[in-house]
Chains A and B, each alone.
Chain A
Amino acid sequence: MVLLTLFAIGILLIDLMLPREWKRANAATALAGVAFATGGVFRIQQFFHAHGLTMQPGFMVTLLVDRVAIYFFYLFLAGTAVAILISARYLEIERENHGEYYALMLFSVVGMMCMAAGIDIVLIFIGLELMAISTYVLVGFLRRDQRSNEAALKYMLLGAFSSGIFAYGLSLLYGLTGSTNLVTIGATLQQRILRANGHFDPVMIVALLTTATGLFFKIAAIPFHQWAPDAYEGAPTSITGFMSVSVKAAGWAMLLRIFGYPLFYGGQVYRPGLMALRPVYVPILIFVSIATMTGANFAALTQNNLKRLLAYSSIAHVGYMLLGLIAGTPENLSSTGIKGILIYLLVYTFMNLGAFAVITSLRHRNVIGDEIDDIAGLYQRAPTEAALMLIFLLSLAGIPPLAGFYGKYFIFFSLIESGHYTLAALAVVYSVFGLYYYLRIANAMFMRQPLEAEKLRMSPMMGLALGLSAFITVWIGVFPDLVIRTVNNVLGLGPVSSVAQLLR
């Protein structure tokens, strides 16, 4: 985090001295920052391994770096690196190639890390705001574009509103428990419920509802999604990609911390955050996930703007991921469900950023390139990009043997394991809707004639971003065992000896 902050400040200083034609160096500095930060996370991981640690509190016990937090750190850094690669040429075309862009990206990653590793609600909230404020500015980064300004304003107003509700929920939790530490909050809530013979205090329910509302706003779950399609459409395309993966993953990291997954430390099990309220929040999650899958999939069917279509698809994916939190018993979260969410977030990062990379490459002089008509006949103008886009789309739809399949597989499997058959069937049906609107894009790329004959030129950085995303999407799809083993290890699920066991 310190390294990223230093690099972000460094970019701001160096940018002042760079002539216009050297502005691309900012992207290289930002990439170096991400690389050094990744090295730092790797050192932490090695330290854990060498000392047999599973978690380490720090910063006056406001941070808790555990394996899940480290997993999220890698996820944020990977998403940011690909987003930086996509941005360099795009910003030149938009004539907005300023150092602040990359500095803000790095600042937002620092916020994300605080959200993922925070165990104190004050630090989590500060991390959230650091990330959100940086993102508001990034959404409105195209100063001359009215759509971008409008999107930033809408995003900021709705974001501030949701942060207010979230802060209110957190203040109620502090009022109920007298602590800002999530582990103490969890233990105190559990004691209060036990003392009341399993009855839930109405204030607890209000605290849960307001906190959950804030969290649902941040991950754009229906009915709190209104900001997402507008913000995604108006934002610079590279930032839309960044928001749809890294910012969303950070929202998920925070959601998992607050809704709670058990922490194992010193032979004891801690149930932090709102885990004690699981019997109350599971029905809410069921309602929200069904509403999210239904609303987003139906809305996506009729969209003609690619960014808007992918925005609704991204909301639909949130609906599927929420199912992973529902799986399990009324008291305990299913380990397969949380495994599904972690794998989903990983594969989603690459397949969605890949799709946004292709859309970003459609932008050239005088063509915004975000309508379905703009992608028509892409196969004739840029066959490689069309083929890669098809891979990303099929992976987003969850077709094997691509990475997207495994995210959906574990989540649906966790539902079946815990007896939620109806939800599993609904999720499968909605996946077919997803396949339909992704095939609409594929149909336009391969079956329609292009509206302009000019061949698309791919910059080396864009080529690297696309190649990397496509490689990981296919590689995880064909050889999923490494990722599954890694996630098992992150969750402390123990070693497995066969592929059949891995898929359980």
Chain B
Amino acid sequence: MESERREPPQKKSVLVQLANYSQLAFIFPVATVVGWLIGAALDRWLHTTWLYLAGLILGIIAGFVELIRLVTSSESKE
């Protein structure tokens, strides 16, 4: 179809693109899990019960921020 031809030419090789995109898969889940683990560890160390939740929320926010940074940087390169 006409639209297939209208797609921009791909400058990067497929492997580079794959490597770029594969980091997406990990940023958000890893940030969330790391935040939760740090919070849980702090809970054990300080004998509290709520820091795991704070860590989890911080992890999610960090993952989100990193993802947005990735989007804006890749869009500005284009």
Contacts and interface: CB of A to CB of B under 8 A. Distances in A.
Contacts of B10: 302
Interface string B13-25: 0000100010011
Contact of B1 (A230, A302, A435, A436): A230
Interface stretch (A89-97, A259-267, A336-344, A426-434): A426-434
Contacts, number: 59
Interface stretch (A4-12, A65-73, A276-284, A437-445): A437-445
B6 A435 contact: no
Contacts of A301: 21
A301 B14 CA distance: 13
B1 A439 contact: no
Contacts of B7: 302-304
Nearest to A440: B71
Nearest to B24: A436
Interface in B7-56: 7-8, 10, 17, 21, 24-29
B72 to A, nearest CB: 6
A235 to B, nearest CB: 12
A151 B10 CA distance: 25
Interface in A211-236: 229-230, 233-234
Given A433-B21, A436-B67, A440-B75, A147 B2 contact: yes
- Majority secondary structure of chain A interface residues (helix, strand, loop or mixed): helix
A229 B21 CA distance: 21
A502 to B, nearest CB: 21
- Majority secondary structure of chain B interface residues (helix, strand, loop or mixed): helix
Contacts of B21: 298, 301, 433
B25 A439 contact: no
Contacts of A229: 3
Given A302-B10, A436-B24, A233 B3 contact: yes
Interface string A476-495: 00000000000000000000
Interface string B57-68: 000000000011
B1 A305 contact: no
Contact of A305 (B3, B17, B24): B3
A32 interface: no
Given A147-B2, A230-B3, A433-B21, A304 B8 contact: yes
B32 to A, nearest CB: 10
A408 interface: no
A429 B8 CA distance: 27
Interface of B: 1-3, 6-8, 10, 17, 21, 24-29, 67-68, 70-72, 75
For the complex of A and B, list the 9 residue pairs with the smallest distance between their C-beta atoms, beginning with the closest: A432-B28, A429-B25, A439-B71, A230-B1, A443-B71, A436-B24, A233-B3, A443-B75, A440-B71
17 contacts: A146-B2, A147-B2, A150-B1, A150-B2, A302-B17, A303-B7, A305-B3, A428-B29, A429-B29, A430-B25, A432-B24, A432-B25, A432-B28, A432-B29, A433-B24, A443-B68, A443-B71
